[in-house]
Structures are given as C-alpha cells and as structure tokens.
Structure 1
C-alpha cells in the first residue's frame, strides 16, 4: 500500500467543490487549500467567501487567499507546505512555473472539456453552443501554457438535446471529482501515461460576452437551438420586440419549413412561441421579459400581448 500523498488544492468556484470533496474522501491528505480572496457580491455588496473556501472551512483545512500567487511570499508558503502533488480546478489565475513544478509529482488540473478541444475559460459553454454530441473532463499535467499540458486521464460524457451550459456544468463538475480520484489512484500506482496534446486538433473557448447573446434569427434553427442552450444561464440568448428585451430559454426545433421572415412569430400559445428561422421553426418554451423573472411562455402570454406576426430583432 502506497503512502498517502500530501496534496495542496487550488480552486475557487462551485465547479471545483466536488473535486475537493473527492480528495477529502480519499486516503490522501489535503494539507492546504488556496482560493481567490473573498469578493463583494449581490445588491448589498456583502463580502462573500468562494464555495471552495466554505467547504475547506467546514473540513478544518488551512486556507490561503493571496491577492497574487506570483510573489516570493506565496512561493515560500508552498515550500513550507511541501506538497507531493498540487491539484488545480478552476482556480482563476495562471500559475507561475516555479509553483507548478515545485511538487515532486508536479501539478495536475481538472479541465471541463476533452482536450485539446476547448482550451480556455469557457469550455462547457462552447461545447453546447457548437452542438457537440459529447464533451467530458480531462485530467492533465499542467505546464506554463493555457491548458496545453499532457493528457493523463480523459472521461467522456454525452450532451443531450435538453442540456444547457448550466446542466452540463453540474454534470461535469461531479464527473471531474470522480475522474480526479481515479487519476490520482492510478498515478500512485504508476499506471498513468502522459499523452502530449495534438496541436492540430486544438481549439479555444474564450470567455463569453453579453453581446454574444443577441440572436440572429437568419441562422438555422439547429444552430439557434445550440446557441440558446449554451448561453443558458449566462449571458443568455435574447432579442427585442417593441424595443423591449426578451431572453429565450428551453428551445425546441420544429422540422417544418418556415414561410415567414426570420424572427417572426408564427404561433403563440400554451406550447410556446413558434419563431421562424432561416430554415425550420424554433419553439421557445420559456421566456424572460425585460424586468421580470424567467417563466413559461404561457405565463408571459397571460400578462403581455405577443401575437403571430410580431417579429423579434
């Protein structure tokens, strides 16, 4: 039986929580947790701890929240902790080389895509937006590049037609924790073979911008179906009707050739809004009128006048 590893965990948001929990449930020792500083959130601008800190506090772990990890002070902290391995999951900042390479087993990362596809900040959203039938998580050995390190352990997961970026975030977060536990066990047994990434297959997943949510109804229904799901919950897909913004959710492709101009509402009833695209129709089953909450289309129709012939722009 191998000795427990001394592990430093670096992560910040909800996505990283199942991975930290997987380490806490393992025979290895989490000797320290590094996360981003507390930030002000909400209307009251109250200082809130990140989700990883909340779990670390509950587990009684030493917590470090440096404003910068590129200082001699932080490197000294890592030296004093003397980890065998560092695990990074959505920490939020690029790690300097001397920190990455300090542990004897290096630093590994849980990334929310099947690398080398979708390197970058928003891999889950782009996989859904592009209509990929599957995605997954990759346990990788970190290097100085942006998600360019050797692949250690990839795990695939199908994307259903009802999945959104939000649902896939939850699924991949849980999958990441399970994959991490398996990968570390194999690493301890010497059964992980690093595989260099194929640069010819690499693609990037940059952070999304709010304006990417403004839909172009002259696109095909299938393309819009993927975009709306990939933009849910943020920044969300939207359009304008009578100068008011409407956000769209829960789309469904209706395979019937559209005869109206793109963006035109062909039908508005309890089943949703049937909207013309470049090809077929797209049914929107949930909507969020400006200044209101997300709701089923039927509820919206009870309070707002939306009729066939109206056109979203």
Structure 2
C-alpha cells in the first residue's frame, strides 16, 4: 500500500469547504491549510474566520493565513511542509509559479464551471445570468494564467429553470468535493490524463458588483429572469418605487406583451408584482423593502399599496 500523499489545501469561502472535507474523508494526509486572513464582518465589524479555517481547526490541522503568498517567509513555510500535491479551491489570489512548481505532482484547482467557459471569480453566477442550461466542475492542472491550465476531470450538471446562483453554488460545492476526491485517487494512481483547453472558446466571469443589480426594465423578461436569479443572494437585483429601494427575488416570466412602458406595475397582489418589460412581463414573487427582511409578495403588500401604473425605476 502506497504512502498517503502530503497535501496542502488552499481555499477560503464556503465553496471550498466540501473539497477540504473530501480530502479529510479520504486516505491522503492534509498537512496544512492556507486561507485568507480573518476579516471584519457584519454591522458589528467583528473579526470572523473564513469557513475553511473553521473546518481545518476542527480537524486540528495547521492553518496559514498570509497577507501575501509572494513573500520569502511564506515560501519557506511551504517548502518545509514538503507537499506532494497542492489543492486549490476558491483561494482568492493568483499563485506564483514558484508555488505551483513546488509539489512533485503540481497544483490542481477545483473550478465552478466547465472550462474554458467562465474563467474568473464568479463562474457560477455568470452561468445563471447568461441563461446557460448546463454547467459543472472542472479539476484542472494549474499554471500561471487565470484558469488556463490543462483539464484533468470534469463533471456536468443541468441548471434548473428557476435555480438561483446561491442554490447552484451549494450543489456545485458538493460536486466539487466529490469530483476532487475522484481526481486525487486517479492522479495518485497515474490514471489521469491532462488535455489542453480550447482557448478560442474561453469566456470570462469577472467579479460582480452592486451596480449590476439595478434593473433595466427595457430588457426582455427572460433576460431579467436570469439576471435576478444570477444575482441571488448577492448582490441582488433592485429598483426604486416612489424613491424607496426594493430588492427583487423569485422572478417568473409571464408571456404577455403589455403596451405599458417598461417598469410599469400592471398588478400587485398575493401572486406578486406583475411588471411590464421590453418583451413579455415579469412577475416578482419575493420582495425586500429597504431596511426590512426578504418576504413573499403577499406579506410585503399587506402594508404597502401599489396602484397599477406605478413605475419601478
């Protein structure tokens, strides 16, 4: 029986947790975990550890949290760990080539898309925003580029017609852990062949920002439907009704062409807000008024009278 691989895991957010857990559940040895430093979160600005750190400490694994991975002291720490393999999942920083070359089996990455589509920081959200029918997980051999390394293993899943980015995120995180475990087993056995990406087919998935959520109602309903789902839960879609900001969730395309200007509320009742768009209408079934919690439309509209003809800007 061969000796366990010495693995250093690099990851930070919730997406990386199932991948780290998959390594803990397997036969290999996680000798250290590297994640981003603790950050202030919430209104109280309390210092909070990343989810990956919480899991690592539960398993009593050493945790490194460098501000930079390009310093000599961090490089010395990594060399002292003598890893056979570096596993990366949503770590959050570009790694220098000297780190990628350190382990004898190199560095592999758990990425939330079917590469070469959606390279970058937000592949799951952009797949939903762009109305893709399918996405998945890619395990790739890392190089110095942004998600440009050779593909080792993929696993595809359909995107549900009403699925949000948050729901898809959770499914892909679990799939990432399962696919990683399979990839590490095959890599150790020498049964994993790399294949280059078709770079001409590449697309980008840049970071999201809050301004993306301000809805343009001149877009067709199906586009808005994908955008709202892709921005759920963050940064979320929004608009202004009588100067008050509302966030919008749980959209439904209603194939009715309205003569009203885009953004006009045609009906407001327990079924939701029916809003005219550039093509067809959109029903919004969940709302979040500024300063309040997200709620279903019926609950929200009990204390809020919105007459037909009101505009969302």
1:166 aligns with 2:158: no
How far 1:3 sits from its partner (Å)?
Answer: 2.6
1:188 aligns with 2:193: no
Q: Deviations over 1:258-311 (max 9, x none)?
A: 221111111111111111111111110001111111111111111112121111
Is the partner of 2:56 in helix, strand or coil? helix
1:140 aligns with 2:154: no
Name 1:30's counterpart in structure 2. 30
Q: For 1:240 and 1:65, how far apart are their aligned partners in 2? A: 41
Equivalent residues in 2 for 1:16-55, closer than 5 Å: 16-55=16-55
TM-score (norm 1): 0.98
Name 1:120's counterpart in structure 2. 120
Is the partner of 2:131 in helix, strand or coil? coil
How far 1:173 sits from its partner (Å)?
Answer: 0.5
Name 1:4's counterpart in structure 2. 4
Name 2:66's counterpart in structure 1. 66
Q: Deviations over 1:174-218 (max 9, x none)?
A: 000000000111111211111111111001010011111011111
Q: For 2:118 and 2:93, how far apart are their aligned partners in 1? A: 17
How far 1:114 sits from its partner (Å)?
Answer: 0.6
Is the partner of 2:152 in helix, strand or coil? strand
> Does structure 2 conserve the Cα–Cα contact (< 8 Å) formed by 1:273 and 1:297?
yes
Unaligned runs of 5+ residues in structure 2 are none
Q: For 1:291 and 1:89, how far apart are their aligned partners in 2? A: 34
Is the partner of 1:193 in helix, strand or coil? coil
> Does structure 2 conserve the Cα–Cα contact (< 8 Å) formed by 1:246 and 1:287?
yes
> Does structure 2 conserve the Cα–Cα contact (< 8 Å) formed by 1:2 and 1:188?
no
How far 1:2 sits from its partner (Å)?
Answer: 3.3
Q: For 2:17 and 2:124, how far apart are their aligned partners in 1? A: 17
Q: For 2:271 and 2:227, how far apart are their aligned partners in 1? A: 21
Deviation above 6 Å: which 4+ runs of structure 1?
Answer: none
Is the partner of 1:194 in helix, strand or coil? coil
Is the partner of 2:169 in helix, strand or coil? helix
Q: For 2:267 and 2:44, how far apart are their aligned partners in 1? A: 42
Name 1:207's counterpart in structure 2. 207
Name 2:226's counterpart in structure 1. 226
Name 1:152's counterpart in structure 2. 152
TM-score (norm 2): 0.98
Is the partner of 2:10 in helix, strand or coil? strand
How far 1:15 sits from its partner (Å)?
Answer: 0.6
Name 1:269's counterpart in structure 2. 269
Q: For 2:179 and 2:199, how far apart are their aligned partners in 1? A: 24
Is the partner of 1:121 in helix, strand or coil? coil
Q: For 1:127 and 1:168, how far apart are their aligned partners in 2? A: 10
Q: For 1:306 and 1:295, how far apart are their aligned partners in 2? A: 16
Q: For 2:307 and 2:285, how far apart are their aligned partners in 1? A: 15
> Does structure 2 conserve the Cα–Cα contact (< 8 Å) formed by 1:152 and 1:183?
yes
Q: Deviations over 1:136-188 (max 9, x none)?
A: 11000000000000011011011011111100111111000000000111111
Is the partner of 1:86 in helix, strand or coil? strand
